[in-house]
């Protein structure tokens, strides 16, 4: 995304919706938020600063702003009564880039906040579902691995046996996931 075309603007929260290409990443992030306790971690990830505000596509005449990343402030209850919300407006972007950008946000957001007994499994599922290439994931996370499972294990500091147990818990729903 070209930083020269980014504009910080104020918009009404009622004029914003999630872009259809970003919905799979948004729904994964929303589901993860409902399942997990969160705490800050991995604060050094360089990609996080670009998601300080929701990122929206500049609308055409008569259309709404469509969020492609940075939707966390929209989920906060404090936005319900706000008259305006600060967002970063960018020109149109190809659908494939929107999908990649949305998953980039989810991975960066997840690495910073998730603290859960199934963190490895959730992270691995996210890496599998996202549209980013293996090399893009390595660049984003700063972790190099032959497989996505290896990257997720290194990020979560999880042993292979614990990783298998976490996957089993998610697949079969056993154990309390607190």
- pLDDT tens for residues 133-149? 999 999 988 889 999 99
Phi, psi for 107 (deg, rounded to 5): -65, -45
Domain segments of the chain as ranges: 3-172
Distances (CA, A) of 115 to 58, 64, 65, 170, 173: 35, 35, 32, 15, 18
User: For the chain, how many residues are written?
Assistant: 178
pLDDT tens string 15-66: 888 999 999 888 888 776 655 544 444 444 444 455 678 899 988 888 888 9
Q: 121: closest CA among 68, 72, 174? A: 174
């Amino acid at each position: 995304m070209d930083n020269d075309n980014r504009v910080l603007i104020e918009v009404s929260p009622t004029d914003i919706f999630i872009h259809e290409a970003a919905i799979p990443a948004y729904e994964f992030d929303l589901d993860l938020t409902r399942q997990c306790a969160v705490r800050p971690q991995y604060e050094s990830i360089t990609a996080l600063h670009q998601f300080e505000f929701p990122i929206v596509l500049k609308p055409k005449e008569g259309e709404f702003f469509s969020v492609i990343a940075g939707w966390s402030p929209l989920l906060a209850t404090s936005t319900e009564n706000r008259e305006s919300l600060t967002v970063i407006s960018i020109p149109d972007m190809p659908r494939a880039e929107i999908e990649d950008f949305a998953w980039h946000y989810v991975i960066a957001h997840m690495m910073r906040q998730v603290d859960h007994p199934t963190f490895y499994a959730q992270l691995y599922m996210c890496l599998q579902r996202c549209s980013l290439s293996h090399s893009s994931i390595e660049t984003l996370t700063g972790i190099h691995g032959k497989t996505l499972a290896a990257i997720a294990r290194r990020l979560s500091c999880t042993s292979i046996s614990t990783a298998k147990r976490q996957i089993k818990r998610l697949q079969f729903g056993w154990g309390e996931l607190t």
